A and B are shown apart, each in its own frame.
Chain A
């Protein structure tokens, strides 16, 4: 069945460092891909999405490109802030259902 694999955390970075969180997927067809973020004590929020190959989703300085050839959707940010500390989930949509990766906790130190 369809699945999502993302790198284990926690990822600890200093402020202004470059961030990459890896995400790969297995799916039949070409699903939409998402990154969700969960801040402490809050629900998951959609961070960005891409609906077809080579699409780039972006929001709040975060970017991810839908790579069909490598079945990947890695999340990147050029300069992280303390306020980016959260858990990040990669997901794909299959038959209107979201299938999630295990989440990656990011901790940004001042």
Chain B
């Protein structure tokens, strides 16, 4: 299957700083990318959906100004956690699909720890 690369796999940052997570589709053009957050022993919770060249659509309860999503090209989407706090510590996962009803491919996830 297609490859989605997520970077970094782990990051530790200080409270109050911002951290950027990248999600790249390596061998296909992803018209749509999704960002998920996973708490221990819980489901992957969809945070937002982004389409190339347009603003992301956030799920209810997700702070747009806190979690900035940019999908500037067909192969790259970024999630920036701004002014991070310990409660933002979590596992963040991206997925990408060619479009519409096609299969979604997932990155390996990013473990964020805010200290």
Residues of A near any B CB (own CB < 8 A): 4, 8, 36, 41-46, 89, 96-103
Contact = CB atoms under 8 A, between A and B. Distances in A.
A42 B6 CA distance: 10
Nearest to A36: B106
Interface in B65-115: 93, 95, 100-101, 103-109
A94 to B, nearest CB: 10
A96 B106 contact: no
Task: Name B's interface SS.
Answer: strand
Contacts of B101: 96
Contacts of A98: 34, 44, 46, 95, 104
Nearest to B105: A43
B1 A41 contact: no
Task: Name A's interface SS.
Answer: strand
Interface string B53-69: 00000000000000000
A104 to B, nearest CB: 10
16 contacts: A36-B106, A41-B108, A42-B108, A43-B4, A43-B106, A43-B109, A44-B106, A46-B1, A96-B32, A97-B46, A97-B49, A98-B46, A100-B36, A102-B42, A103-B41, A103-B43
A96 B97 CA distance: 10
